[in-house]
Amino acid sequence: MAKLVLMFNKQVLKEYPFDKESITIGRKQDNDICIDNLAVSGYHARIDKTGYQYILTDLQSTNGTFVNDKKISSHRLRHGDNIIIGKHVLLFVASEKERQEAEKEKEPEFNKTMMLDTEKQRELLAKQEAPVPTPKKPNKIGVLSFIDGSKLGEVELTKKLTRIGKSDNVEIKLKGLFMGSTAATISRRPSGYTITFTGGLSKLKVNGEVVKGSVPLKDFDTIELGSYKFQFYQKDSNR
């Protein structure tokens, strides 16, 4: 079994056997390796075991995680690596078997897909997302804000695909003689929200430009559909 040796000022403080699939390092009490020092983030780093390999991941810590003086975001640990967190050092010691396997599993195996035991990681990512305002995390939800005096007000785009038109089975129902049954749709995709014109004689305009196909939506884009006018923006989702 591999182990981690916690050191401070070249003094050994404690040894931790690696007896789980995944361990966490941080200032908070519920970490497997708890380092009570202000330079250490609440949940600072994680090490996952996959087969005979150990993978260290920095959990977006404030002061970073270093291995042998190099800053890392993730790193495959080798026997003898020094993991530096704040002023503490964790020495990674692999077992004899793991050292042999690591030798065998060199370069070519990097192309092989591996699985992480994911539950633990999910929990951690969930924990980590809450306190850290992570940039670009898709936890936002799109909103249509009607600015044309209709009584719709604000409509949240909670569905992956929102249809707009005058038919009864659409998510946002609008009136108008020339409005299509489904006049437009807004879909939420990996790249963000996209609006698509789907039919009817009422024109779809985004920022004044007529749209006949699809365009991606950006915050505060103005959308016109027939006599309706509304603005798109994204807000933090509270779910």
| Nearest to other proteins of 41, 185 (CB atom) | 185
Asked if residue 136 binds other proteins (CB under 8 A), the reply is: yes
Write out the DSSP string of 202-235: SPEEETTEE-SSEEE--TTEEEEETTEEEEEEEE
Smallest distance from other proteins to CB 53, Å: 9
| DSSP SS3 for 35 | coil
Considering only 7, 116, 143, 152, the residue that binds other proteins (CB under 8 A) is 116
Q: Which residue, 17 or 199, has its beta carbon nearer to other proteins?
A: 199
CA distances to 15, 44, 90, 91, 130 from 85, rounded to whole Å, are: 16, 8, 8, 11, 22
Kind of pairing, strands 221-225 and 204-206?
antiparallel
Segment contacting other proteins by CB under 8 A, of 4-12, 29-37, 82-90, 178-186: 178-186
Position among 63, 82, 95, 198 found at the interface with other proteins (CB under 8 A): 198
- Select from 68, 74, 150, 222 the one that contacts other proteins (CB under 8 A): 74
User: Which residue stretch of 24-32, 96-104, 134-142, 143-151 sits at the interface with other proteins (rule: CB under 8 A)?
Assistant: 134-142
Q: Within 10 Å of residue 116's Cβ, how many Cβ atoms?
A: 15
User: What are the backbone angles phi and psi of residue 62, rounded to the nearest 5°?
Assistant: -65, -45
For other proteins, the binding residue among 68, 100, 158, 207 (CB under 8 A) is: 158
Name every residue whose Cβ is closer than 8 Å to that of residue 46 and which is 6 or more positions away in sequence.
Answer: 22, 23, 24, 25, 56, 57, 59, 121, 124
Q: Which residues bind other proteins (CB under 8 A)?
A: 50, 55, 57-58, 60, 73-74, 76, 110-119, 121, 125, 134-138, 158-161, 166, 176-181, 185, 187-191, 194, 196, 198-201, 213-214
